[in-house]
Chain A
Amino acid sequence: MWVLSRACARTGEVPARTFPAVADMGPALVLGGNGVRRGLRNRTVILMGVVGPLVLGGVLALAFTGTGPKIDIVLVDLDDSSVSAGITRGLLEALGPDAQDGDSPVTLRTEPGVDSVEQARSALDAGDVSAAIVIPEGYGDSVTGEPEDLVVVGSADNTIGSAVAGGIARSVTARTDLQRSMVAGFVSAGLDPSGIEPGDLQQVVSTELTDFGFKFDAPLFLGPLSVFLFLGLGVNAKSLVRDRSIGILDRVRAAPISTRDVVLGAAITVMVTGIVAATLVVVLSTVVFGASWGRPLDVAVIMLAFVASVAGLLGLVVGLARTEAQADSWTNLMAFGFGVLAGSFFGGTTLPGLFGVIGNLTPNGAAMRALIEAGPGGEGLGGVWYLIVWMFAIGVVGVVVGGVMLNRRLR
C-alpha cells in the first residue's frame, strides 16, 4: 500500500516547469548527459572509445613504427660510377642522419662488407638486413643508353622491408627516366653528374615512406578511433531503438520536449564521448607510442569536426533504423565501409581512383586528410578549412535529417 505524505498532498504550489523555447538546449543536454552516464556505467565509452582504438592503434604502431621491428635497407653500389654515387648520396641524405644511425624506424645505409648481390643475400639470410637495393654495374651508362632497373634483394620473411625497398627502387627507376635527361645534360656539358641535387630523390623516398605510413603515424590511431567511434555510434543508436520498443521513448516524449531534443541528446552523447575518446587517444598515442599528430589547436579543431560528423551520422542511423538489427547493420556498414574507403585499416592509405575520392568524403577520410595536410610541415588549418566545414556539415545535416525522419515515423 502506498503512503501519501503530507508533502505529496496538493499545496497549490506551482511546479517549477520550464517550457523549452526553440533554442533551449536543456532537454537535449539532460538526455545527452544521461547517455554519457549510462555509457560510463556500462563501460561502453571506455571500451569502444579508448581501449579499442588504443589497442588496435598500438598494434599497428608496434608493427609499423620505431617500437616495432625496424626496417634496415642496405644500398649496394656495383656500378661505382659518378651517377650511382649521386643516387646513393641522394637516397642516404633523403632520410636524414637518423636513417643511417638506427634511430629511425626505417634505416637506409651502405654496408662496407656488402659489395655484391650474393653478399646482400647472405646478409638478408642472416637477418642482418631487411632488404637491399642494388645499383647494377653499368647503371651509370644507362642514363645515356638503354634504361636499366635497380635490383631489389628481398625475402618472403620480411615482406614489409621488401615492399618498402621495392617501392623506393621503382620510384627511383621512374625518376631516373627524368634524371637521365638531366644527367645527360650534365655529361654533355662536361659537368660532374654527382652534383645533381638530391631534392628529387628526397621527394621519392618521402613519398614512398608516407605511402607506407611511416612518416606520419597519426593515421595509425585515427583509423581505429574512427572505426570504434562508428561502433560506439551503433551502441547509442541501438539504445534509442530499444528505448522506443520498451516505451522509454514514449515516456520521454510525453515530457514537454520535442523529438528533435531526443536526436540532439543522442548526438550530444556521441559528441561528448567522442571528444573524450579522441583526446585520450591523441594524448596516450603521443606519450606512449610517440605518435605525431600536428599542432594541438589544429588537431583539436579537426577532431571536433570529425566527432561532430560521426554524431550527425548517428542522427541518420536513428532516423533510418526501425529495429536494433537495422541499427547494427547501418553502423557496421559505416564502420567497415568507410574504414575501407578511407584506409582506416591500412594506416591511412586510400584506395586509388574514384574510391579514393569517395574515401576522402567520408568523415574518417576527411579527418585523415585534414590531419595529414595540416600536420607537420603542412599548411595548418587554413589549408584544410573546406574539409572541416564538410565534416561539420555532415554533423548538422545528419542530426536535422535524422530528427525529421524519426519525427515522421513516430507521429
Chain B
Amino acid sequence: MAVLVADSLRRSFGGRVAVDGVGFSIGPGDTYGLLGPNGAGKTTTISMVCGLLRPDGGTVRVHDHEMRVTRCQAKAHLGLVPQEVALYEDLSGRENLELFGRLQGLGGRLLTQRVDEALELVGLVDRAADRVVEYSGGMKRRCNIGAALVHRPDLLILDEPTVGVDPQSRNAILAGIEELRGVGMAVLYTTHYMEEAQRLCERIGIMDQGVMVAEGTTAELVSLVGRHPVIRLSGDGPLDSFVKAALEVDGVVNASDHEGRADVVADVSAALLSHLLDLAERTGVRVGGVQVDAPDLEDVFLHLTGKALRD
C-alpha cells in the first residue's frame, strides 16, 4: 500500500493558480523527488500534502487516511523538514526534539528514547545540550531534520533541505537521507538541484508553473528528450578515418568530425567506450580527451518547458 497518494491537487491564491492537477504516489522505502525552479509550486504542493494548506481540489491520502477527513491521523504519519531552520534557537537541540516529540503525543521514557535515537541519527548526541544558536549551519540543518524524525514518521517530507548549505554538510545530509530509505521510510524531497534529485530519487516529478510536466524514473524522463548521448573524442590524427570506422560499430547511431574532434552518437556503455578507444588507436588517432554528453534532467526540463531549470 502506498504511504502517500496525492491526487489532482489544485490550489490558487487570489486569481493566481499555484498548483494545478498535481498527483503522485510514494511507496514504503521510496524516495520521490519534486524537481522544479523556484516558484514552480513545489512548496505549495507539500504544504497541501502536510495539511498546512487546504487544496481547492484533489485529495491527499497518507496511509489511507484522507487529509481533509482524518487530518490528525494522517499527520501523525508524516514528518516535515521546512526549508528554513525551523527550530527554537534559544532552546537546546534536545529540548527542540522533545518539544516536537510531545506535539506528536510522545511522552515519558518513550519520548526520551526517541529523542536519543533521533539525536544519534543526525549525529548530535555530543551537542544535544547546547543551544541551537550555538550550532554551526550544518548542525542546525541536521537538527532540523532530526526534529522531523523524533516520532519515527512513515513519510519524511523535506523542502529543499540543502539550500544554503556547504558542500560537506550537503553530502552528509544526502547520505543520511539515503540511509533512511534503507530502513523503509518513504521520502518526499523537493529541490531545484538536478544532481540531488538524480542521486536520491527513484521517481521524479518535474514541476513548472504549478503543473507536473513529467513524471517517472530518471531514465524514463531522460528518454523524453529523444536524443542519444554524444561521445566527444578530441585528438590528433586522421579523425575522418576514425569516424568512418566508428559508423560500422554496433550501437553507433551517427558519427561526424568537427575541427579536431569526433562526435559519436550512441547509447553509452563501458564496452562501447573501450571499443571506440581501440578503434582510435588502430586508425592512428592520438586521443587527447573523451567527454560524454548525455542528456540529463536539465535537458529534460529544457526540452519540456523551453527554458533552463535555474532560469
Chain A interface (Cβ within 8 Å of chain B)?
1-5, 7-10, 15-20, 26-27, 30-31, 34, 37-38, 41-42, 246-248, 250-257, 410-411
Contacts and interface: CB of A to CB of B under 8 A. Distances in A.
A247 B82 CA distance: 6
A19 B105 contact: yes
B121 A252 contact: no
Contact of A42 (B76, B90, B106): B90
Interface of B: 47, 50-54, 71-73, 75-76, 78-80, 82-88, 90-91, 95, 99-100, 102-107, 110, 113, 116-117, 120-123, 142, 147-148, 151-152, 172, 175-176, 179, 182-184
A250 B86 contact: yes
Contacts of B99: 30, 34
A319 B181 CA distance: 40
Contacts of B73: 19, 256
B117 A5 contact: yes
Contact of A254 (B52, B87, B172, B179): B52
A38 B176 contact: no
Contacts of A411: 52-54
B194 to A, nearest CB: 23
Contact of B100 (A17, A18, A20, A251): A251
A8 B103 CA distance: 20
B73 to A, nearest CB: 6
A208 B86 CA distance: 57
Contacts of B147: 251
15 contacts: A2-B122, A3-B123, A4-B182, A4-B183, A9-B183, A16-B105, A16-B107, A31-B103, A42-B90, A247-B84, A248-B86, A251-B86, A252-B100, A253-B51, A255-B103
A246 B53 contact: no
A137 B10 CA distance: 92
Contacts of A252: 100, 103
A411 B11 CA distance: 11
Nearest to B173: A2
A250 B52 contact: yes
A1 B178 CA distance: 10
A303 B259 CA distance: 89
A31 B147 CA distance: 15
Contact of A15 (B78, B88, B152, B175): B152
Given A4-B183, A19-B72, A250-B50, A255 B172 contact: no
Contacts of B113: 7
Given A34-B99, A246-B85, A1 B172 contact: yes
A16 B106 contact: yes
Contacts of B85: 246-247
Nearest to A251: B86
B103 A257 contact: yes
B71 A250 contact: no
B82 A20 contact: no
10 A-B pairs closest in CB distance: A247-B82, A247-B86, A256-B72, A18-B105, A2-B176, A254-B80, A255-B103, A17-B105, A247-B84, A19-B72
A248 B87 contact: yes
Given A4-B182, A18-B105, A254 B78 contact: yes
A8 B91 contact: no
Given A8-B117, A15-B106, A250-B50, 4 more contacts: A247-B84, A248-B82, A252-B103, A410-B52
Nearest to B50: A254
Contacts of B107: 16
A27 B183 contact: no
A303 to B, nearest CB: 28
A30 B103 CA distance: 7
A79 B71 CA distance: 86
Given A8-B120, A247-B84, A255 B106 contact: no
B75 A256 contact: yes
A38 B95 CA distance: 11
A250 B80 contact: yes
A48 to B, nearest CB: 16
Given A42-B90, A253-B52, A17 B76 contact: yes
B120 A41 contact: no
Contact of A2 (B75, B83, B105, B123): B123
Nearest to A252: B103
Given A250-B47, A411-B54, A255 B100 contact: yes
A404 to B, nearest CB: 14
B148 A17 contact: no
Contacts of A255: 75, 100, 103-104
Contact of A3 (B71, B86, B120, B182): B120
Contacts of A10: 183-184
B76 A251 contact: no
A27 B104 CA distance: 9
B88 A248 contact: yes
B52 A19 contact: no
A256 B105 contact: yes
Query: Chain B CB within 10 Å — which of A17, A19, A254 has the most?
Result: A254
A3 B176 CA distance: 8
Nearest to A410: B52
A330 to B, nearest CB: 23
Contact of B175 (A2, A27, A42): A2
Contacts of B76: 15, 17, 19, 256
A26 B107 CA distance: 11
A5 B100 contact: no
A42 B110 CA distance: 29
Contacts of A251: 80, 82, 86, 100, 147-148
Contacts of A26: 105
